Chain A
Amino acid sequence: MEKLHAVGQSAVRVDGKEKVSGAALFTDDLEFGPDLLYAEIVEGPHAHAMITKIDTSEAEKVPGVLCVVTGRDFPYNFGLYMKDRFIFAQDRVRFFGEQIAAVVARSPAAAKKAARLVRVSYKPLPKILNPLDAIEGDASLIHPGLKSYEHVPWFFPQPDTNIAHHRKIRKGDVEKGFAEADHVLDDTYEVPRYAHCAIEYHAAVAKYDHSGRLTVWASSQSPHTQRNLFANALAPMGIRHNDVRVIAPHVGGGFGSKAGVTMEILAAAIATRVKGHPVKVMWNREREFYNTYQRLGVVARLRLGVKKDGRITALHHELYWDAGAYVEYGANVVNAVGLSAIGPYRVENASIDSYCIYTNLPPGGPYRGFGYSEFLFGLESHMERIARHLGIDPVEIRRRNAIKAGDLTAYGAKMNPSGLMQAIDAVAKEIRWDEPVLPGNDEEAVGKGFSLFWKAPAMPPNTSSSCFLKFNEDASINILVSGMDIGQGFLTVMAQIASEVLTVPLSKIRTENPDTDRNPYEWQTVASHVTWGCGNAVKLAAQDARNQVLDLVSRTQNLPKDTLYLAEGSVRCVTKPSFRMALEDFVIHGIQMPDGTFRGGPIMGRGVFMPEYATTKADPETSQGGHPNVHYTVGAAAAIVAVDKKTGKVKVRKIVEAVDCGKAINPDLVRGQITGGILQGISTVLYEEMKFDHRGKMLNPNFTDYKIPTSLDLPDEVVPIIIEVAEPDGPYGARGMGEHTMIPVAPMIANAIDDALGLRIKTMPITAEKICLALLKKNEVR
């Protein structure tokens, strides 16, 4: 194996100095001058209602107000995978707090004052706040126009119902599989909605200038997808893709919330009504909760059959997703889970029904884990219960069923190479699975829990990444890519890959957040795919640049190209050890020939990556025959918890998590993802809970009432473990792992609590209150 000098090093982040010095600029930190306008959004106070009248006359009279815009100004629908969404509500509102109008004014205060004066009349409609109610025969339709919406070919909406998509898996013979089982466990698990809680709000500023140029500055995971969706939605106004420019500064946390298009399109659309002025749309903490994407809730019915030795004979998984009022992005969460809800197991007989169901709650959408945390809560709870029932060690039952390279996935394609077994062994060893854990005192009960995890990027089959790489006079490098550093360390990892190929030190490589006019195409920074996808593009661009360098030196120095190589920023020759040409001597100005003329010119590399083997073409009744997922990243994790028997409060003593990232380009950043993902996972299982009232209004949209962990809520110990079984088409073998780290946390904590108390809790979150009440009930029964 080649010796690597940059890849595999725990380099300091390339954006680190900006971030610790206060220099890093986020969207709301940018200056737009004294002509900046402010838009305030008018929201609907109904979960489901027809809009009968909008009166903006009083609002327009407020001094400083330039205009009021409503849905009538923008009768356009848009969406990433299904065009079911509107810039402003059209004839009806479908969730509490939906945007109906916007007031544009010279100051935020004038805009806010006027927004309160917009009078809207409604005719309430029956609202549906639960996915199971939405599929009752007499349920009112949330989207009567469903059958007319454009959507990707791999969605299957059911017209005249509230089911926007149904992903079906039929593999093997499930009836036969259950008949052969020695033990079948049937149960239902519920996982509610969650909020991303990035600390930075969504923010967007847009300017539609007098030449017809639309520039949008946004806190974004998806600058090119935003450009595409803005241009498509606003095409009736004559706006084309090359008129639209999206500039994405630093992002103060994403976790999926800033993927696709949500509130940013308001700024883009409003700007077209105040031509020549920049206009800012800022969300606040409340709107972060109720008017961006939320993680979808799910009710999962699971039936699993096993032989006496624990081997799985059949699985049936029915998932009813609370996808919210608009599912243009969330339906793909449902789809991804439909394809993968066998978990990281070898399951020959499987049926899966994953239903995307409209409800009158805020739009569900991408959230770190993309549905896998949700279905694995049930599946990994189930595995542990079955193991205990059969008297098999919970780790052993997973070893016996773990999927291996070449096994068939739920849709019939072959599983990629993975270090799942190594991960299981490493975690079991580090957590000392075979040794008993002891309570610290009489008040607490202690237990251990285990969980596997897997996840594939959920992407269209033609998802692509690209890179331009250019040298400067001193052989320093600018890498132009359009992936976003949302904290995961993307920019650093791209620089490390280029450094590896071109032997230029990291200190001489600059990678920054993109501008769609200048930087080449990237689909989105989602799906944990950019290290793999964009990493490939950067590697190809660096190799392209290297090739140009070696070509130039070869033809000017009369040396065979295959004897030339790069080392420490110079071209060297294997047959002439004394030969050395430093890159800075020619990468811009070229190489001078004996007659005084020059050869060469600026060296610029180009790289494009698209996984050309992916396809979503498959039988819709079985999902067999396609290759929708490029690969799965897998891992294992275990936890030791101590539960206070009086209060139900859970203390996490230790968590061990091993993830197979193929190759850790920067091990420190991989460990950072594990540490952070674990706490986010702990938070969903132990603390966070959205409360909605009977009107569908969220009651706790703030950090006082919706708790996320502080530095006082940490596990006593977290041990991250890196497994490296190379991905065949990954850069240096790398595959993504950012989302994965939070996926196993909820089931393994549930399993540990069961181990400690003999209590199986099947609905998240597992709060102290819930444990305490369950303990009281259990003791009463005794």
Chain B
Amino acid sequence: MKKISFTLNGERRQVHVSPNEILLEVLRYKMGVKSPKSGCDSGDCGACTVILDGKAVRSCLIFAVEVDGQEILTLEGLSADGLSPLQQALLEKNAFQCGYCAPGMILSAHELLSNKPHPTEGEIKEAISGNLCRCTGYQPIIDAIKSLTQKR
């Protein structure tokens, strides 16, 4: 077991982990942060996406010990001060159905918009192409993100 500390949704947290523990499992089962989901455990589906030092990453492919000293944002953190304009747009457009992919999808889109506030439709599709959704056919999600970039 090794003690690691990192910033999770703006709060300094410490946790004991063994070297083979996966970040997704540590977040969910040791730290009570449930928005990152498991959908494949092999990096295919993107449901476990979190923002690590500003970049969207798959928490099922990262060992928890690797994030020592870094900063992690999950959907809980993004929602802490109310819905972001991105979340608001997705809500108003009824962009999600079952909502299981939503946490990962939103964080991938959040990363895109943080770096590029006015992406093209192609860039939006590219940014969320690692997040599988079986319900929506993606278009309502893309349209919601697009509406936001036009509003700005």
Residues of A within 8 A of B (CB): 10, 12-13, 15-26, 28-29, 31, 196-201, 250-255, 284-285, 486-489, 668-669, 672, 675-680, 702-704, 708-712, 714, 718
Q: Is the CB of A489 within 8 A of B97?
A: yes
Q: Which residues of B contact A251 (CB under 8 A)?
A: 98
**Inter-chain contact A711/B44, CB cutoff 8 Å:** no
Bound CA span A702–B136, Å: 21
B100 near A702 with CB under 8 A, answer no
Contact check, B37 vs A20: say whether CB atoms are below 8 A apart: no
Q: Which of A672, A708, A714 touches B94 (beta carbons < 8 Å)?
A: A672
Known A-B contacts A13-B94, A21-B75; A252 and B137 likewise in contact (beta carbons under 8 Å):
no
Asked if B59 lies at the interface with its beta carbon under 8 angstroms from chain A, I say no
Out of A18, A24, A28, A710, name the residue touching B132 (CB < 8 Å).
Answer: A710
Number of A-B contacts (CB under 8 A): 157
Say whether B72 faces chain A, with CB atoms less than 8 Å apart: no
Docked Cα-Cα span, A545 to B75, in Å, equals 39
User: Which B residues lie within 8 Å of A196 (CB)?
Assistant: 134
Which residues of B from 39 to 81 have beta carbons under 8 Å from A? 39-42, 44-45, 47, 74-76, 78-79
Inter-subunit contact A285/B94 (CB<8 Å): no
With contacts A675-B140, A676-B137 taken as known, whether A19 is within 8 angstroms of B39 at the C-beta atoms is: no
Inter-subunit contact A487/B137 (CB<8 Å): no
Residues of B within 8 A of A668 (CB): 94
Cβ-defined partner of B100 (8 Å) among A10, A23, A253, A680 = A253
In the bound assembly, the distance between CA atoms of A487 and B133 in angstroms comes to 11
Q: Which residues of B contact A679 (CB under 8 A)?
A: 137-138
Contacts of A489 in B (CB 8 A): 94, 97
> Is the Cβ of B139 less than 8 Å from the Cβ of A487?
no
Give the CA-CA distance A17 to B96 in the complex, in Å: 10
The answer to whether B146 has its CB under 8 Å from any CB of chain A is no
Nearest chain B CB to A91's CB is how many angstroms away? 34
Q: Which of B37, B40, B83 contacts A26 (CB 8 A)?
A: B37
Instruction: Kindly identify which residue among A26, A250, A487 contacts B135, using a CB–CB cutoff of 8 Å.
Output: A487
Q: Which residues of A contact B129 (CB under 8 A)?
A: 710-712
Q: Which residues of the other chain, A, contact B126 by a CB distance below 8 angstroms?
A: 711-712
Chain A residues with CB under 8 A of B97: 253, 487-489, 672, 676
Which chain A positions have C-beta within 8 A of B28?
28-29
Contacts of B140 in A (CB 8 A): 672, 675
Complex alpha-carbon distance, A711 and B101, angstroms = 13
Which of A672, A680, A702, A712 meets B134, CB within 8 Å?
A: A680
CB distance from A164 to the nearest CB of B (A): 29
Contact yes or no, B139 A675, CB < 8 A: yes
B26 located at the interface, meaning its Cβ lies under 8 Å from any Cβ of chain A in the complex: no
B148 CB within 8 Å of chain A: no
B40 touches A703 (CB 8 A): yes
Known contacts A20-B106, A21-B75, A676-B135; decide if A199 and B125 are in contact (CB<8 Å): no
Give min CB distance, A359 to chain B, whole Å.
Answer: 26
Say whether B10 faces chain A, with CB atoms less than 8 Å apart. Answer: no
Indicate the member of A487, A489, A710 with the most B CB atoms within 10 Å.
Answer: A710
In the bound complex, residues from chain B placing their C-beta under 8 Å from that of A676 are 97, 134-137
Contact of B47 among A12, A22, A199 (CB under 8 A): A199
Chain B, interface size: which category? 35 or more
Distance of A754 Cα from B45 Cα, bound (Å) = 33
Determine the residue in chain B with the shortest Cβ distance to A255.
B134
Residues of B within 8 A of A25 (CB): 34
Report the separation of the CA atoms of residues A12 and B92 in the bound assembly, to the nearest whole angstrom. Answer: 6
Chain B residues near A678: list those with CB within 8 A: 137
- A468 and B83 alpha carbons, distance in the complex (Å): 32
* CA A589 to CA B47, docked complex, whole Å: 47
Q: Which residues of A contact B119 (CB under 8 A)?
A: none
CB B120 to nearest CB in A, in angstroms, measures 13
> Which of B41, B74, B137 has the largest number of chain A CB atoms within 10 A?
B137
- Known: A678-B137, A711-B128, A712-B126. Is A26-B142 also a contact (CB below 8 A)? no
Residues of B with C-beta under 8 A to A254:
98
Given contacts A20-B102, A21-B75, contact A285 B40 (CB under 8 A): yes
A486 lies within 8 A of B136 (CB): no
Task: State how many angstroms separate the Cβ of A517 from the closest Cβ of chain B.
Answer: 24
* Selected A-B contacts with CB under 8 Å, 7 pairs: A16-B94, A252-B100, A253-B100, A284-B41, A672-B136, A672-B140, A675-B139
Within 8 Å by CB of A17, from B40, B83, B103, B134, lies B83
Closest residue of A by beta carbon distance from B78: A22
Find out whether the CB atom of A18 lies under 8 angstroms from the CB atom of B42.
no
Q: Is B99 an interface residue (CB 8 A)?
A: yes
- Least CB distance from B59 to A in Å reads 14
User: Which residues of A are found within 8 Å of B76, using beta-carbon distances?
Assistant: 22
Interchain CB contact under 8 A, A252 and B99: yes
- Cβ-defined contact, B75 with A26, below 8 A: no
Q: List the 4 closest A-B pairs by CB distance, nearest first.
A: A252-B100, A487-B97, A19-B99, A22-B75
Assess whether B42 is in contact with A285, with CB atoms less than 8 Å apart: yes
In the complex with contacts A16-B91, A20-B87, A252-B99, A197-B134 CB distance below 8 A: yes
- Is B90 located at the chain interface by the 8 A CB criterion? yes
- In the complex, which residues of chain A have a beta carbon less than 8 angstroms from the beta carbon of B90? 20
Taking A198-B98, A669-B94 as known contacts, 16 extra A-B pairs with beta carbons closer than 8 A to each other, sorted by chain A number, are A12-B94, A17-B91, A19-B99, A22-B74, A198-B100, A199-B45, A199-B47, A201-B39, A253-B135, A285-B42, A672-B140, A702-B42, A703-B40, A703-B132, A710-B130, A712-B129
A677 to B40, CA, bound (A): 22
Q: How far is the CB of B49 from chain A (nearest CB, A)?
A: 12
CA separation between A133 and B37, bound complex, in Å?
42
B88 / chain A contacts, CB cutoff of 8 Å:
20
With a cutoff of 8 Å between Cβ atoms, the chain A residues found around residue B94 in the complex are: 10, 12-13, 16, 489, 668-669, 672
Contact of B91 among A12, A24, A28 (CB under 8 A): A12
Which residue on chain B has the smallest CB distance to residue A485? B98
A12 to B78, CA, bound (A): 21
User: Taking A10-B94, A702-B40 as contacts, is the C-beta distance between A711 and B142 under 8 angstroms?
Assistant: yes
From residue B112, how far is it (CB to closest CB) to chain A in Å?
Answer: 12
A17 to B97, CA, bound (A): 12
Which of B44, B98, B102, B103 has the most chain A CB within a 10 Å cutoff?
A: B98
- A182 shortest CB reach to chain B, Å: 41
Contacts of B138 in A (CB 8 A): 679, 709-711, 714
